[in-house]
């Protein structure tokens, strides 16, 4: 059981991801963008950098970040890519490579990813592969990216066949979560991030889960008094899991609670139709019900999970169009975690503890998918 | 000084690359292709694999390799790519990714690279990035790939701006050098491989260098009695250097002797005009002369290097068209190893020992490039 020491509001909190020589800090607080230049200097990064952002985030926060870096003497090349999941593709990666070559980016240069998960995954993959690896800094501006994708070093892009099929493990040197950037986030995207926060409670921290049950109203209103500690706690859980299993040989898989079906929902509906957190929300409902059937999660806990997901304004079921069990099962078999064509699930016996690598009979999965369908 | 224990002919030799959990063996001998299936089994690789080869090598050796794997129960997906340096590009990488997705390649699957350096680098990069990293096996069929590119985990592709700008460090699980495959190698490509062998003598092993001086005639005739030990010794030197500096933080840079100018010659002449070893040969002549000027390599040693390169049938100078000093200097500044726009050279005080990170005044480099020009 994890203590709740970091759950009281503070000005800025720092969570450390402990990975030996690849360790790095995550700074969480309000108004941190203007401190990025100083932190990059402290971290000992090279004099030249590339700031990769997208057309939605660059106009909002690009100026602050560029100024912060330039004030500290960094030479900055900005690259702006289109926004949206379709940006995470090989063509955009090639576009970035060519920009880096044109601006004579060297091994000592670094990359700053300013944006949501799409930008972080794309820019991180570019950093992982350009000149066989450049240092990079994550500056996540969505809740989802702050609590999940910016931490842990998973970077990558999509193929049309499935999400994140191409990628690498490449840890950032620094993560800066400025909670102020969440103010401009569309409500639907913000709620999508709450799905991952709920996931941390389910898989690792019953106290966090209970706090979320009490404070979901404040969180949905983006109340910073609760947002700061909740983001910090989420990052701390992710850091702890990643610190024990950097390359996902085993226990890191628990972070995929709700993701097996979630990824399949995203893939079969065309990327962008469902937000990641929305798909994961439905996936968590399914995982909770499968946990009841397979490992004895009490019905009351299934109901609490359902209630918390619903209170965050997240979907708890599938519209009939999305609930094609055959297509979803096929997409799951293509999941990166599938082995021998067999899908494994992350399940939980109780709230706060998850187990990975669980077999579930296909017929039971099919049955749960059917149960998830909204009645017309 | 390194002993010559492994320089006597044997049936098969195995060199170990020691990198802790990423250690792997290099098997060197005649007729080894048919043993690949057994070795993959011993190594504990998954049941499914992709064999990536090119249109030149696949018809010659693909059948033997596929049969060897299938006889041991592996399920094999063959992928054939065009031959030549232009295959090392993002488009072909994308083509391979789509094939892997179409054939449901999983994390437990592995990749076999069957071919020269182009195939090894391309297939290695695909393996490094698909599903965030698949195991792979190098089966180099050119002398250059056997003694150099298949060992050490550097994988990557070219951008039109420069060679190998995109890549990763991803160690193979096994390297199989079948000397019989060298019989079908065009003479020019074979000689190109000898350039890297000569390089190992210059940077690390005066005894190897002296042996090459005595036996270059036999080696040019591809006499297996000498080829086996020379390939094994080259691999052992590379393994030793890589074992000390996997990610090229420092000493691994000595492997770039002759490569600073060599890469620039390749880049400015359009890839494929010069073979890699030919360009490196000229680069080594320049490095030897710069070593004389900067660190006191005796003139007699410069002449020995020149003589050995010439005796291998490799170029020792540049045709006037290729000797554009301004273009070559610009290309060197884009080299991955450049820092702050400044090019560093690997030089040597004597044969058998190299020093990296050496500054050389641009004017001196320009002067040596001019000296390299063939008189019309």
Distance from CA of A181 to the nearest CA of B (A): 30
A249 vs B: CB within 8 A: no
Per-residue pLDDT band at B1 (split at 50, 70, 90)? very low
Neighboring chain B residues of A102 at a CB cutoff of 8 Å: 161
Encode pLDDT of A317-356 as tens digits: 999 888 889 999 998 887 766 666 678 999 999 999 999 9
B162 with A339: Cβ contact below 8 A = no
Per-residue pLDDT band at A1 (split at 50, 70, 90)? very low
- State yes or no: is B266 an active-site residue: no
Distance from CA of A92 to the nearest CA of B (A): 11
Predicted local distance difference test score (pLDDT) of residue A333: 83
Please give the Cα distance from B235 to B281 (Å, whole number): 19
Predicted local distance difference test score (pLDDT) of residue B5: 47
pTM: 0.92
A-facing residues of B in 73-112 (CB < 8 A) are: 90, 93-94, 97-98, 100-102, 104, 106-108
CB atoms within 10 A of CB B324: 16
Predicted local distance difference test score (pLDDT) of residue B72: 98
B122 vs A: CB within 8 A: no
Tokens (6 digits) for A192: 């999508």
Per-residue pLDDT band at B2 (split at 50, 70, 90)? very low
Has residue B192 got a pLDDT over 60? yes
Q: Quick one: average pLDDT of A243-258?
A: 92
Give yes or no for a contact between A27 and A176, defined as CB atoms under 8 angstroms apart.
yes
A168 with B97: Cβ contact below 8 A = no
A-B C-beta contacts closer than 8 Å: 101
Highest mean pLDDT among A298-302, A367-371, B362-366: A298-302
A168 vs B: CB within 8 A: yes
Mutation choice for A interface testing from B93, B103, B166, B167 by most A CBs within 10 A:
B166
Encode pLDDT of B204-225 as tens digits: 999 999 999 999 999 999 999 9
B101 with A159: Cβ contact below 8 A = yes
Please give the Cα distance from B136 to B43 (Å, whole number): 11
Compute φ and ψ for B30, nearest 5 degrees: -100, 130
Classify residue B303 by burial, with Cβ atoms within 10 Å: 0-12, 13-18, 19+. Answer: exposed
Predicted local distance difference test score (pLDDT) of residue B300: 98
Q: Quick one: average pLDDT of A255-284?
A: 91
Tokens (6 digits) for A119: 């930008």
Please give the Cα distance from A49 to A66 (Å, whole number): 10
A168 with B102: Cβ contact below 8 A = no
Question: Which residues of A belong to the active site?
Answer: 132, 154, 196, 238, 248, 252, 256, 259, 263, 276
Tokens (6 digits) for A220: 């949905």
Encode pLDDT of B229-275 as tens digits: 999 999 999 999 999 999 888 899 999 999 999 999 988 887 678 99
Has residue A42 got a pLDDT over 80? yes
Neighboring chain B residues of A107 at a CB cutoff of 8 Å: 336-337, 339
Predicted local distance difference test score (pLDDT) of residue A248: 85
Helix, coil or strand: residue B97: helix
From the list A70, A154, A78, the residue with the least C-alpha distance to A113 is A78
Predicted local distance difference test score (pLDDT) of residue A374: 76
CB atoms within 10 A of CB A180: 15
- State yes or no: is B215 an active-site residue: no
Instruction: Say which of B85, B248, B266, B278 is annotated catalytic.
Output: B248
């Amino acid at each position: 059981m994890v203590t709740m020491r970091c759950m009281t509001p503070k000005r800025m909190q720092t969570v450390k991801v402990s990975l030996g020589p690849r360790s790095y800090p995550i700074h969480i607080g309000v108004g941190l963008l203007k401190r990025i230049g100083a932190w990059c200097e402290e971290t000992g990064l090279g004099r030249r950098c590339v700031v990769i952002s997208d057309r939605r985030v660059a106009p909002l926060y690009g100026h602050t970040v560029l100024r912060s870096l330039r004030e500290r003497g960094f030479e900055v090349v900005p690259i702006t890519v289109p926004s949206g999941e379709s940006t995470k593709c090989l063509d955009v990666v090639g576009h970035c490579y060519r920009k880096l070559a044109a601006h004579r980016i060297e091994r000592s240069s670094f990359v700053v990813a300013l944006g949501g998960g799409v930008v972080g995954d794309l820019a991180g993959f570019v950093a992982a592969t350009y000149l066989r690896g450049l240092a990079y800094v994550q500056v996540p501006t969505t809740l989802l990216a702050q609590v999940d994708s910016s931490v842990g070093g998973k970077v990558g892009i999509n193929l049309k066949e499935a999400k994140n099929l191409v990628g690498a493990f490449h840890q950032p040197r620094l993560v800066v979560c400025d909670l102020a950037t969440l103010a401009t986030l569309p409500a639907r995207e913000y709620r999508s991030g709450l799905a991952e926060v709920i996931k941390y409670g389910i898989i690792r921290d019953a106290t966090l889960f209970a706090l979320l049950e009490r404070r979901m109203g404040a969180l949905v209103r983006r109340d910073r008094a609760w947002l700061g500690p909740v983001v910090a706690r989420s990052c701390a859980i992710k850091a702890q899991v990643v610190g024990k299993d950097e390359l996902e040989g085993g226990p890191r898989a628990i972070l995929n609670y709700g993701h097996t079906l979630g990824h399949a929902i995203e893939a079969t509906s065309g990327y962008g139709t469902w937000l990641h957190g929305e798909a994961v929300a439905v996936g968590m409902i399914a995982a909770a019900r499968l946990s009841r059937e397979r490992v004895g999660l009490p019905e009351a806990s299934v109901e609490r999970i359902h209630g918390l997901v619903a209170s965050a304004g997240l979907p708890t079921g599938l519209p009939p169009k999305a609930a094609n069990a055959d297509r979803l099962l096929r997409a799951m078999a293509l999941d990166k975690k599938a082995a021998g064509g067999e899908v494994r699930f992350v399940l939980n016996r109780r709230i706060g503890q998850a187990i990975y690598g669980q077999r579930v009979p296909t017929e039971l999965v099919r049955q749960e998918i059917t149960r998830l369908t909204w009645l017309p």
